[in-house]
Amino acid sequence: MLVYIFLLGHILLALLIFFLVLAFVTGAPYVPSTNPVARSMIDLAHIKNGMIVYDLGSGDGKLLLLAAAKGAHAIGIEINPYLVLLSKIRTFGKKISVHWGSFWHADLRDSDILFIYLLPWRMEKLAKLLTTRAKPGALVVSNSFIFPNWKIIRQDKVNHVYVFRI
């Protein structure tokens, strides 16, 4: 019996490593936003009651919880099933949904606000995706990195948070 538990532990660890590497390859490794940055992202988004907010690569659900507290319907898309499970536990009973999958294939047509924390070499590809799949006029709030050809409409220089409009 102990051998099976040991084997299961190794399989779960291998899957965790696989999903961490997969997230890095797709451009959004799990790097949690600090509390000051997360609060800045929420403040700069100007969330109003009833808005639909997506967190692309939602990690542990921190931004989802903060957005829902402002009255938004918060939707997280996360490629790592371990983080999806953690988010579902943290957001249980709230107006939040978390989906396991790649945001590169997500339908974002109803988005009012999109939160992102993506590696710089993926920003141009994401810009193309958002202009075709997200709602025109939606806000994109980025942690740390900018879209090379988009105009910044608001920013927090101290916390490196930038807001763009699609």
SS3 8: helix
Give the total number of structural domains in the chain.
1
Share of the chain above pLDDT 70, in %: 90
pLDDT at res. 110: 97
pLDDT band at 161 (very low <50, low <70, confident <90, very high): very high
Q: End-to-end CA distance of the chain, in Å? A: 55
What count of Cα atoms within 13 Å lies in the side-chain half-sphere of residue 130?
Answer: 27
Residue 36 has pLDDT above 80, yes or no: yes
Give Dmax (Cα) for the chain: 60
Render pLDDT for 55-74 as a digit per residue (tens, 0 to 9).
Answer: 999 999 999 999 999 999 99
Mean pLDDT of the chain: 90
Distance of CA 54 to the CA centre of its chain: 7
Q: What is the pLDDT of residues 73-97, one digit of tens each?
A: 999 999 999 899 999 999 998 889 9
pLDDT at 37 over 70: yes
- Could you list the residue range(s) of the whole structural domain that residue 58 is in? 2-165
Averaged pLDDT for residues 23-38: 80
CATH number at residue 26: 3.40.50.150
